[in-house]
């Protein structure tokens, strides 16, 4: 067998999530963090030292960073509005790209980045890392085994207060930076819902609000709820709150004509030995933490490296994530117009 080429990884942005990506890539065989790019050179150097990659080259210019001779994978860890232009620059430089969510805050930017990535024929991996959380791996297996039958209803919600205790709060509260509650955070729940329903969303209606005192000072409504219709006739709901004060909560419910999944519990008529009034416990890891160090990035990144090595298309690539964002844009439109909106 020939020698496998080492893949050089470069990170753009040197904040909280960047640290998790460096730490995870350090644990992947055949990968090496070779470069970090920040607006501030010293911050990039400090980040490299703090995360045990002191030899990674520090840059404060994106063009120079993209010319690093050993760079194969670019990881975009900056605030949301930077993601489209940085994705396009990395794609034009021929790099494979890991993009933090949300990938874009408006349809025009989204469409441009999808077109450029497709033109460059590079692979992408959008950080909807819950695909690699135990619960969702098991839900996918349960659905594949047809244990709950044909799913007619699904809901996933994201309830996680994002306040001054998080670094991103400073910029995320601004409309121009955060976008809206669903794009900035609830997109994880929307993505999980769409992925498990296995059918695209065709229509949405929605409402949003801010609590009367707006203690976390959001420039946009930090709470929203949307009702969705899927192409296969199923219906669903996604709610988000980033101003709630409670432990992180990601409730999940899928109902089919043979059974139901409710968080880590299953009821199915295919198991005649289980009493009708009892849930079966699904032994698994739950999405119960907002800490990036608890996120299953390792699974996502190992899978991406495998895809790069085999040339397979990642199921969480920009094209798949684009639909999640189109639905979020339609929900936003539904909130504004107080009408049912068709998804493009
Ligand atoms: N997938 C997940 O679960 C997850 C978790 C946390 C964060 N994220 C995403 O990662 C991205 C970064 O979030 P974070 O929590 O690391 O934020 P952060 O504020 O800790 O880090 C952002 C970094 O970008 C730099 N930066 C570049 N341009 C900037 C600008 N115009 N304004 C402010 N900072 C700028 C900052 O200096 C900082 O180093 C966001 O898009 C966020 O949604 C995703």
- Residue 145 in domain: yes
- State whether 29 and 176 are in the same domain: no
* Residues 6+ positions from 100 with CB-CB distance below 8 Å: 17, 75, 76, 77, 78, 83, 127
- State whether 178 and 94 are in the same domain: no
- State whether 113 and 180 are in the same domain: no
| Radius of gyration over every alpha carbon of the chain, rounded to an integer in angstroms | 20
- State whether 18 and 85 are in the same domain: yes
- Residue 2 in domain: no
Mean per-residue pLDDT, 122-129: 98
Task: Return the CATH number at 230.
Answer: 3.30.360.10
- State whether 91 and 177 are in the same domain: no
- Residue 1 in domain: no
**How many structural domains comprise the chain?**
2
Using the predicted structure, report yes or no on whether residue 297 has a pLDDT greater than 60.
Answer: yes
Mean per-residue pLDDT, 114-119: 98
User: CB within 6 Å of ligand 1 — which residues?
Assistant: 13-18, 38-39, 77-80, 82, 100-101, 127, 129, 167-168, 171, 292, 295
Ligand 1 centroid from CA 331, angstroms:
24
pLDDT at 2: 63
Using the predicted structure, report yes or no on whether residue 250 has a pLDDT greater than 60.
Answer: yes
- State whether 57 and 206 are in the same domain: no
- State whether 201 and 330 are in the same domain: yes
What is d(CA 43, CA 277) in angstroms, rounded to the nearest whole number?
57
pLDDT at 344: 87
- State whether 307 and 222 are in the same domain: no
* Residues 6+ positions from 328 with CB-CB distance below 8 Å: 102, 180, 182, 183, 187, 190
Quote the tokens at residue 332.
Answer: 């936003």
Task: Return the CATH number at 29.
Answer: 3.40.50.720
Number of H helices, E strands in the chain: 12, 15
Quote the tokens at residue 57.
Answer: 């080259």
- State whether 307 and 336 are in the same domain: no
Instruction: Name beta bridge partners: 18.
Output: none
What is d(CA 272, CA 114) in angstroms, rounded to the nearest whole number?
48
Using the predicted structure, report yes or no on whether residue 1 has a pLDDT greater than 60.
Answer: no
What is d(CA 125, CA 114) in angstroms, rounded to the nearest whole number?
12
3-state secondary structure of 239: strand
Q: Which of 15, 74, 167, 187 to mutate to test the pocket of ligand 1 (most atoms within 8 A of CB)?
A: 15
Domain that holds residue 214: 130-291+323-342
pLDDT digit string, tens, across residues 171-213 = 999 999 999 999 999 999 999 999 999 999 999 999 999 999 9
- 258 torsion bin: left (phi>0), alpha (psi -120 to 50), beta (else): alpha
Mean per-residue pLDDT, 294-315: 97
pTM attached to this predicted model = 0.97
- State whether 181 and 282 are in the same domain: yes
DSSP state at residue 45? H
Query: If you write DSSP's letter for every residue of 102-138 in order, what string do you get?
Result: PS-SSHHHHHHHHHHHHHHT--EEES-GGGGSHHHHH
pLDDT at 3: 76
- State whether 141 and 120 are in the same domain: no
- Residue 308 in domain: yes
Q: Which of 58, 77, 133 to mutate to test the pocket of ligand 1 (most atoms within 8 A of CB)?
A: 77
pLDDT digit string, tens, across residues 9-22 = 999 999 999 999 99
Dihedral angle computed from the Cα positions of residues 135, 136, 140 and 141, in that order, rounded to the nearest 10 degrees = -30
- State whether 141 and 281 are in the same domain: yes
Closest atom of ligand 1 relative to the 127 alpha carbon: 1
Mean per-residue pLDDT, 283-312: 96
Stretch among 79-88, 119-128, 202-211, 267-276 having the lowest mean pLDDT: 267-276
Mean pLDDT (the chain) is 97
């Amino acid at each position: 067998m020939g020698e496998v080429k080492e893949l050089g990884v470069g990170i753009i942005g040197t904040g909280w999530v960047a640290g998790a990506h460096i730490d995870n890539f350090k644990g992947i065989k055949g990968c090496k963090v070779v470069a970090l790019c920040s607006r501030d050179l010293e911050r990039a150097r400090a980040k490299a030292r703090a995360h045990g990659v002191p030899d990674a080259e520090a840059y404060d210019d994106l063009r120079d960073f993209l010319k690093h001779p050993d760079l194969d994978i670019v990881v975009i860890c900056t605030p949301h509005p930077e993601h489209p232009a940085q994705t396009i620059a990395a794609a034009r430089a021929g790099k494979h790209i890991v993009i933090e969510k949300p990938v874009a805050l408006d349809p025009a930017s989204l469409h441009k980045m999808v077109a450029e990535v497709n033109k460059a024929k590079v692979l992408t991996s959008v950080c909807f890392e819950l695909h690699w959380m135990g619960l969702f791996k098991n839900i996918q297996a349960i659905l594949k085994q047809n244990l709950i039958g044909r799913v007619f209803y699904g809901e996933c919600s994201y309830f996680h207060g994002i306040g001054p205790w998080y670094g991103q709060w400073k910029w995320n509260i601004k409309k121009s930076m955060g976008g809206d509650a669903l794009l900035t955070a609830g997109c994880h729940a929307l993505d999980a819902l769409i992925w498990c329903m296995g059918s695209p969303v065709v229509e949405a209606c929605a409402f949003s609000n801010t609590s009367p005192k707006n203690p976390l000072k959001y420039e946009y409504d930090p709470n929203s709820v949307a009702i969705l219709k899927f192409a296969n006739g199923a219906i669903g709901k996604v709610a988000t709150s980033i101003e709630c004060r409670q432990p992180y909560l990601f409730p999940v419910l899928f109902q089919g004509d043979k059974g139901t999944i409710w968080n880590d519990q299953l009821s199915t008529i295919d198991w005649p030995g289980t009493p009708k009034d009892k849930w079966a416990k699904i032994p698994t890891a739950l999405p119960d933490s907002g800490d990036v160090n608890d996120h299953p990035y390792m699974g996502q990144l190992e899978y991406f490296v495998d895809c790069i090595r085999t040339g397979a298309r990642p199921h969480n690539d920009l094209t798949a994530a684009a639909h999640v964002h189109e639905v979020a844009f339609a929900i936003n439109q539904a909130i504004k117009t107080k009408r049912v909106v068709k998804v493009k």
